[in-house]
Amino acid sequence: MKVIRELAQPLRGIIPPLVTPLASHDQLDEPGLERLVEHVLAGGVHGLFLLGTCGEGTSLSYPLRRQFVERVTAQVDGRVPVLVSITDTSYAESLAMARHAAEAGADAVVLAPPYYFPLPQADLLQYVLRLNAELPLPLVLYNMPSLTKIAYEPTTVHRLMQEESIVGLKDSSGDLAYLQTIRQLTCERPDWTILVGPEHLLARAIDLGADGGVSGGANIWPQLFVQIYEAATLASDTAMTDQQEILHHLVDRADDLGQIYRLGSVTAGSVVKGLKSALSILGICNETLAEPLGPCTPSERARIEQILRSIGLTPSRTPNRSASGLPA
């Protein structure tokens, strides 16, 4: 009989997709990683997501992925849940990473569809069911069709909800109608978690019933996204005008921060480049990216620094040094 470690409680809140600080293409920036983890935890986040898109997980060697998971789980030491992506084109490697994550002390694993061979939904469903039957940790589905070219269609999600050890969905499709459909299905699973990926949709998604967000910008300014989550949760329960005004102000600040992703065409790669450059400017961790991504140009880095300064974030005043979480 399968023995699975259960989550202490349903996942809720802001769970940053932690970037992977690198000293070289296959070496961790260990001091930077330590600073980054403490930085986001000090910002009040509710969990960490490792080896996702912002973490460049699919670009890292397997030994480096395992080392990263070990170091983060050891440093977090149970303070918040740690989720680990096991997405891969190889069933065996996904299972091996899940087992390693469990041994390291992670709390759940995350799985996007395998991203090379196109799969019909029937095959995707059977793949997830087979893998889930062997997993030692609860599973969160990851809907990222722009990168995997395959979506978890609502009928597939509905079937997978019947598996007790599958506990939620991270939706990065940007399709709020899809999110609403999934939310409607969850009446059968009150413990089910829906997390939204695109941070510009965080407040709207919570209003539609999402339970939180996997917001890349929380690597830089964690308090802001925690405050958006709290304000949006409160605003969805009340019609108070002052709460709506507070939420609009917070969302505007997040949009200002989001300019660091828009120096060219907005892609997953541009988001990672913007995040790592900003973290480097703030003195938190190294800017090195995993191949095949290349670094920001000097002009792009200068523009990112200008954006950070315009919202009150500078190397001498990182977000965690502001008592309010909102730099002047």
Q: pLDDT digit string (tens) for 314-325? A: 876 565 544 334
142 as an active site residue: the answer is yes
Confidence of residue 241 (pLDDT cuts 50, 70, 90): low
In percent, how much of the chain has pLDDT > 90? 83
Question: What are the sequence ranges of the domains in the chain?
Answer: 13-321
For residue 20, give every residue at least 6 positions away whose Cβ sits within 8 Å of its Cβ, in sequence order, or none: 28, 33, 51, 55, 56, 57, 60, 68, 290
pLDDT in tens, 271-320: 999 999 999 999 999 999 999 998 889 999 999 999 999 999 987 656 55
For residue 263, give every residue at least 6 positions away whose Cβ sits within 8 Å of its Cβ, in sequence order, or none: 270, 274, 296, 300, 303, 304
How many angstroms separate the Cα of 248 from the Cα of each of 84, 183, 223, 241, 268?
Answer: 32, 24, 16, 11, 26
| Cα–Cα distance, 71 to 267 (Å, whole number) | 29
Q: Which of 62, 91, 127, 142 is catalytic?
A: 142
User: What was the pLDDT predicted at 242?
Assistant: 73
In 3D space, the residue among 195, 176, 191, 188 whose CA is nearest the CA of residue 83 turns out to be 195
Q: Which of 152, 170, 229, 261 is catalytic?
A: 170
170 as an active site residue: the answer is yes
| Cα–Cα distance, 35 to 318 (Å, whole number) | 12
For residue 56, give every residue at least 6 positions away whose Cβ sits within 8 Å of its Cβ, in sequence order, or none: 19, 20, 272, 289, 290, 293
pTM of the model: 0.93
For residue 86, give every residue at least 6 positions away whose Cβ sits within 8 Å of its Cβ, in sequence order, or none: 94, 95, 97, 98, 101, 109, 110, 111
Q: Bridge partners of 194?
A: 169
Which class in CATH covers the domain with range 13-321? alpha beta
